[in-house]
Amino acid sequence: MSALYGTYARSPLAFERGEGVRLFSQDGTRYLDFHAGIAVNALGHADPHLVDTLKSAAEKVWHTSNVFTIPEQERLGQRLVDATFADAVFFTNSGAEALECAIKTARHYFWAKGETDRYEIIAFTGSFHGRTLGTIAAAGNPHYVEGFGPPLEGFVHVAPGDLEAVDAAITSRTCAILIEPVQGEGGVTAMTPEFMRGLRALCDKHGMLLVLDEVQCGYGRTGKFFAHEWSGIEPDVMAVAKGIGGGFPLGACLAKGEVSKSMVPGTHGSTYGGNPLACTIGNAVLDRILEPGFIPHVDQMGQKLAWHLQQLQQRFPHYIVELRGKGLLAGIKIADSVPVRDFVARLRDDHQMLTQGAGENVVRLLPPLIITEADIAEAAEKIGDAFAALDAETAHEHVTA
Ligand SMILES: *Cc1c(COP(=O)(O)O)cnc(C)c1O
């Protein structure tokens, strides 16, 4: 009996070491990692640059406080500003905290302008923004909200992709639109560039802020540094986490200078957020992500993966209903006759490949961004073997029935 909260239906599988896109369990079995700690291990496991950085950082200052200047944090902030739309950054320890900062920033911007009733945010069904009281209300998924008292007020939800519904939901109270450019947990649904541009246009027309949640789809995963770059638009505020720390807990809220300027001393804070150790690692991750050729490699691998998945769809049209996602955030929507939980377990236990389920019966593929063509071919073979085994079992059932 575990001493831990029962909030996860955990597999008994535990890992001892990792190397690139491979993980080794306690009994020495080697796994192909298309899970990456849910899109966190962007550089795979035991990346030499990250290991060296952590070792030398361990002998220096781990933590001070945000009441002092933290040079590594200043440097990481400046590098993110130089590489994005943003002018200012607030560092956090997680994605949900990055979203909390984004929501507070958007609301406070209007409050400071004297528009104190303007705090409502339009968000989308099927989204996921984290597990704090604020972020469960923001996403509005009834499964996550129910039983935890009155949800935080000020969020309205419309279906993603429906620009008219968004337009109709705008009132004098609306301050922002909040969206994941590619929904991760909800079912790996990529927004179209037209829809993203439409949201930007609505925000411009009504003087609202566009707030993006790129916690999962950002940091190179779709083949651009940030997923919104595919649509050629810029947000006003953006939440980032997961890949940013390469496995070290780190998140960030990025904003345009005009929008962040009301966040003065006393409005927000974090004890750990952006501490020296976290930002030293964050800088090392960014060294690799911004290396020339790194993000183009992700784009190429994303295209290879899509090609292999299309081949599989032709072979197994009775199982593969739809291919979804963008780059190395890929989704396979499978037939309802095969619950995604079971298929993920099959890939793990019978084919030594790690994947993650998502909403709408979608298998999510989230490999480390350093993946090679050979790794992708191996993954496609394992997925093909898993579907073929299902076919064989179904045929057997027909014979014995
Ligand atoms: C994972 C995730 C979050 C929450 O991040 P945590 O670090 O678990 O708090 C928020 N938004 C999206 C899109 C995510 O994928």
pLDDT digits (tens, 9 = 90+) for 53-63: 999 999 999 99
The span from the CA of 184 to the CA of 362, in Å, is: 10
Q: Domain of 121? A: 49-289
Task: Kindly list the distances between the CA atom of residue 308 and the CA atoms of 179, 232, 338, in Å, as whole numbers in the listed order.
Answer: 29, 28, 21
Same domain for 217 and 357: no
For residue 391, give the CATH number of its domain: 3.90.1150.10
Domain boundary among 226, 260, 289: 289
- CA 365 / ligand 1 centre spacing (Å): 16
- CA 23 / ligand 1 centre spacing (Å): 23
158 touches ligand 1 (CB under 6 Å):
no
Looking at the domain assignment, is residue 166 inside a domain? yes
- CA 255 / ligand 1 centre spacing (Å): 18
Looking at the domain assignment, is residue 10 inside a domain? no
Looking at the domain assignment, is residue 4 inside a domain? no
Same domain for 367 and 351: yes
Same domain for 163 and 71: yes
- CA 384 / ligand 1 centre spacing (Å): 30
128 touches ligand 1 (CB under 6 Å):
yes
Question: Could you tell me if 399 and 328 are in contact, meaning their C-beta atoms sit under 8 angstroms apart?
Answer: no
Same domain for 231 and 92: yes
Number of the ligand 1 atom closest to the C-alpha atom of 135: 10
Which residue is closest in CA terms to ligand 1's atom 6?
95
Looking at the domain assignment, is residue 3 inside a domain? no
Same domain for 333 and 211: no
358 touches ligand 1 (CB under 6 Å):
no
Number of the ligand 1 atom closest to the C-alpha atom of 131: 9
Same domain for 350 and 258: no
Q: Which residues of the chain have pLDDT under 70?
A: 401
Same domain for 197 and 167: yes
- CA 215 / ligand 1 centre spacing (Å): 6
Token duo for residue 398: 């027909």
Number of the ligand 1 atom closest to the C-alpha atom of 251: 7
- CA 75 / ligand 1 centre spacing (Å): 24
Domain boundary among 289, 307, 337: 289
Number of the ligand 1 atom closest to the C-alpha atom of 95: 5
Domain boundary among 260, 289, 318: 289
- CA 248 / ligand 1 centre spacing (Å): 14
Same domain for 63 and 22: no
Looking at the domain assignment, is residue 242 inside a domain? yes
For residue 215, give the CATH number of its domain: 3.40.640.10
pLDDT at 47: 98
Q: Which residues are CB-neighbours of 398 under 8 A, at least 6 positions away?
A: none
Burial of 137 per CB tally in 10 Å (0-12, 13-18, 19+) = buried
Looking at the domain assignment, is residue 196 inside a domain? yes
Same domain for 77 and 28: no
Same domain for 261 and 181: yes
pLDDT at 397: 82
The span from the CA of 134 to the CA of 152, in Å, is: 6
The number of folded domains in the chain is 2
129 touches ligand 1 (CB under 6 Å):
yes
pLDDT at 324: 98
The radius of gyration computed from the CA coordinates of the chain, to the nearest angstrom, equals 22
Question: Which DSSP letter does residue 151 get?
Answer: P
Question: Could you tell me if 76 and 94 are in contact, meaning their C-beta atoms sit under 8 angstroms apart?
Answer: no
Mutate to test the pocket of ligand 1, among 100, 128, 221, 270 (most ligand atoms within 8 A of CB): 128
Same domain for 333 and 255: no
Run of H or E including 156: strand 155-158
Mutate to test the pocket of ligand 1, among 136, 215, 244 (most ligand atoms within 8 A of CB): 215
Token duo for residue 339: 């619950």
130 touches ligand 1 (CB under 6 Å):
yes
pLDDT at 399: 76
248 touches ligand 1 (CB under 6 Å):
no
The span from the CA of 134 to the CA of 96, in Å, is: 9
Q: Which residues are CB-neighbours of 79 under 8 A, at least 6 positions away?
A: 283, 286, 290
Same domain for 251 and 103: yes
Question: Which DSSP letter does residue 228 get?
Answer: G
